[in-house]
Amino acid sequence: MIEIKEFLSVAVGPRSDEEVFNVHQIESLLDRVGQTLGCRKLLSPVVEQMLLHCTVQLACKLVSGELPLVSSAEGNKRLALLEKFVVLWAQTPSPPLHLLLSEPTLTAIFSATDSERTDYLFLIRQLIERGLLGEEDLGTNWPKLSALSWPEESSLPSLPNHRDILQVSQ
């Protein structure tokens, strides 16, 4: 929990040039969180929900560009990292994925770069494909998502009426 808080504090607080992370550090953190969550008999429900909440917040900061990553963390490495988040959440009961669709996250995504927006759409699409987010989850946030200026290759479909609601071009 302390380590996740350190990652998040770098994302929201003043930072120096040395306060950047690489994909390997975040992957390692997610592996440790997964191991901790796997020991449910030693974990209280409150701690479990706090860990899940922090991982969702970490993903929000990552896809919005607020979490500083070493520039070599582009392309497939970033997508593989986002998939690790999805795998972790798929193995746990009720992660607070609504945070990905919250006003602060959408506001940050609005200010993000095209590649960060593409990462966000990739993450949302993965969650939909795994059944972790449904159309009803997106329904209340659809107007907000549709209002964002998306990169052309990652645009949203006009109507949210099927499981492939958010498609990201390869």
DSSP letters of 13-55? S---TT--B-HHHHHHHHHHHHHHHH-GGGS-HHHHHHHHHHH
The CA distances from residue 165 to 5, 59, 71, 135, 138, in Å, are: 33, 20, 30, 8, 9
The CA distances from residue 54 to 5, 32, 91, 160, in Å, are: 7, 13, 16, 29
Domain residue spans in the chain? 2-154
The CA distances from residue 100 to 22, 35, 62, 104, 125, in Å, are: 22, 23, 11, 9, 12
pLDDT of residue 52: 94
pLDDT of residue 73: 53
The Cα–Cα gap between 18 and 15 comes to: 8
Phi, psi at residue 21, to the nearest 5°? -120, 165
The Cα–Cα gap between 90 and 34 comes to: 11
Q: Work out the number of other CB atoms within 10 angstroms of the CB of residue 47.
A: 13
Q: Mean of the per-residue pLDDT values for the chain? A: 80
Q: What is the pTM of this model?
A: 0.80
**Which is more confident, 167 or 40?**
40
Q: What three-state secondary structure class fits 142?
A: helix
pLDDT of residue 150: 56
The Cα–Cα gap between 10 and 110 comes to: 20
pLDDT tens figures, 54-88: 999 999 999 998 888 876 556 678 899 999 999 99
∠ Cα 23 34 52 (to 5°): 90
pLDDT of residue 136: 77
Distance of CA 164 to the CA centre of its chain: 18
Q: Look at 2-6, 77-81, 125-129 and tell me which has the smallest mean pLDDT.
A: 2-6
Is pLDDT of 139 > 80? no
pLDDT of residue 144: 65
